[in-house]
Structures are given as C-alpha cells and as structure tokens.
C-alpha cells in the first residue's frame, strides 16, 4: 500500500489525487498499467511531484499533442520499466469537431466545454479544447467517450452544434507556444494590467476573463482584476498558457519594470 495520508497531506486537490492513488495501487496490485481520465494542469503537476517521486511507480502524461494542458496520466509499476525500458503506450484519445455558427453569439472554450458536459460527456472525457473562429471548436476526447459523442447534437449558449469524432491525425492543432521571456513597464501590478501585457490580450478583455473566473493565480481562481501580483506569482489562462513573474523592480517614475516568462 502507498503512504496515502502522506501523499494527500497539504494537497490542493485531494479528491483528484486520491483517485490517482487508487489507480497507482491497482497498477501495483495487478501489474497492469492504468490510464486516468483527463486531469487539469494543477492535478498533473501535483501528481508528478508526489506520486512521481515514489520508487514504486512511474508516471507519464499524454494529452494528445505536445503542449496539452489537460492530460491523461499513465501509472505503472517502476519495476516493469527497470529492465529493457518497456515503451509507454500512447493514450487512447481522438479528436472531436464541434461545428456550429457562432457569428452572432461568439463563444469561449469554457462555453463549449459546458455545452459538451450538458450533452452527457464527463469532465474526465475532455482534454484540451480551442475555438476555430466562428465555425465552432476542436477538442481532444478519450476513446472511451467516442461512441457517445459521435454524430450527436448539442447546444453551446444559443447555438446548436454537431459533434463529429475524427482520428487525432486529422486535428488541426493550435500554434505551438515557445517559452518566451518578456519585459514590460506597467503603471501598476494589477492582474488585468500585467496579464494583458504578458498574455497578449487587451486589458478590457483580460478584465472580462478574470471576472468570468477563467484566470488562476497560483492555481487559485481570481475574479478581481485589481488583484496585485508579486514576484513568483504564476498566472494561468486556459488556452493561453502560463505567465510567471520573474522580477519586479520599481522605476524612478513610480512605475514597475517586470520580467516575465510565458509558457
């Protein structure tokens, strides 16, 4: 048995981590690898730090594409790979095309995800999701949910949509993001100002997303655009990646010079 109490102590997401501990114990007991459903980046990071540090198991993640934010985790016995390094299988995932006319009712990825959940899919079935203009969205889907989703109708906001499952190789991925260090001088350390400069959005758009609960600071949802940031804070916006504040220095004109890392 794994040291469950120790692994869960101080966890930011104990329910999700507990489910992964259950999978790890099952993998140890049966000698069979176990895949989780999709988990978000916070759960993945915590699982890698806690379960990944154990000598009994190995932990790999796969979200269908190199910069996936939501991933499925493969948990298997460490001694299976100790001799000969048995190759890890790819996660059982496919693509999902969400087609609809969003010209008069533009949607965000969170709106599409909510519509898919209301159509009967589970959160663990859905990986990354991104918009394709006013034509709809694309998503990564677990193979287990493909029968439920294929050729189904759903609704996103006021827009009826059609769902179509496609092979992963037919999916047009978002542009890959390269880690980038940015410098900026801002009048304040407000979340909307710094996030706008670092993530490439207008300040008003950034403020709207913050109020909608789409932005997290150090993994906590923040809904106040006026929240002040400090050195070391990590700002995350789904679909836009993460911004880390590396340096904060006052200027002679009562402004702030920031160095940021965008991933």
Q: What is the pLDDT of residues 19-33, one digit of tens each?
A: 999 999 999 999 999
166 and 117 within one domain = yes
Map residue 119 onto helix, strand or coil: coil
Residue 116 lies in a domain: yes
What sign for the dihedral angle of Cα 162, 168, 170, 171?
A: positive
Q: How far apart are alpha carbons 39 and 133 in whole angstroms?
A: 26
140 and 103 within one domain = yes
pLDDT of residue 144: 96
Q: How far apart are alpha carbons 182 and 156 in whole angstroms?
A: 36
Residue 132 lies in a domain: yes
158 and 107 within one domain = yes
Residue 235: pLDDT band (50, 70, 90) is: very high
Residue that finishes a domain, picked among 170, 204, 236: 170
pLDDT of residue 79: 85
Residue 88 lies in a domain: no
The model's pTM is 0.85
Question: How many domains is the chain partitioned into structurally?
Answer: 3
Residue 132: pLDDT band (50, 70, 90) is: very high
Give the DSSP H or E segment for 257. strand 256-262
Residue that finishes a domain, picked among 136, 170, 204: 170
Q: Dump pLDDT digits (tens) for 83-100.
A: 555 677 889 999 999 999
- The better pLDDT of the pair 109, 160 is held by 160
Residue 247 lies in a domain: yes
Residue 228 lies in a domain: yes
pLDDT of residue 112: 96
Residue that finishes a domain, picked among 105, 136, 170: 170
pLDDT of residue 82: 54
- In the predicted structure, residue 217 carries a pLDDT above the cut 60: yes
**55 lies in which domain range?**
4-82
């Amino acid at each position: 048995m794994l040291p469950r109490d120790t692994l869960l102590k101080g966890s930011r997401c104990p329910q999700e981590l507990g489910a992964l501990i259950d999978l790890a114990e099952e993998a140890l007991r049966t000698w069979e690898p176990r895949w989780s459903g999709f988990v978000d980046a916070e759960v993945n990071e915590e699982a890698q730090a806690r379960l990944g540090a154990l000598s009994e198991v190995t932990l790999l993640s796969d979200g269908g594409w190199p910069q996936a934010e939501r991933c499925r985790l493969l948990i298997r016995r460490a001694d299976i790979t100790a001799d000969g390094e048995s190759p890890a299988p790819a996660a059982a995932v496919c693509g999902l095309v969400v087609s609809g006319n969003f010209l008069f009712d533009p949607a965000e990825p969170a709106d599409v995800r909510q519509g898919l959940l209301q159509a009967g899919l589970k959160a663990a079935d859905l990986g990354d999701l991104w918009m394709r203009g006013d034509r709809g969205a694309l998503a990564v889907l677990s193979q287990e949910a493909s029968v439920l989703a294929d050729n189904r109708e759903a609704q996103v906001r006021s827009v009826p949509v059609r769902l179509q499952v496609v092979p992963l190789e037919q999916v047009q991925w978002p542009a890959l993001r390269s880690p980038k260090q940015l410098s900026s001088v801002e009048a304040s350390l407000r979340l909307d100002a710094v996030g706008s400069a670092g993530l490439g959005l207008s300040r008003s758009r950034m403020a709207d997303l913050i109020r909608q609960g789409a932005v997290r600071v150090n993994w906590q949802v923040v809904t106040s655009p006026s929240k002040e940031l400090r050195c070391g804070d990590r700002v995350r916006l789904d679909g836009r990646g993460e911004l880390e504040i590396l340096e904060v220095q006052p200027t002679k004109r009562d402004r702030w010079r920031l160095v940021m890392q965008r991933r």
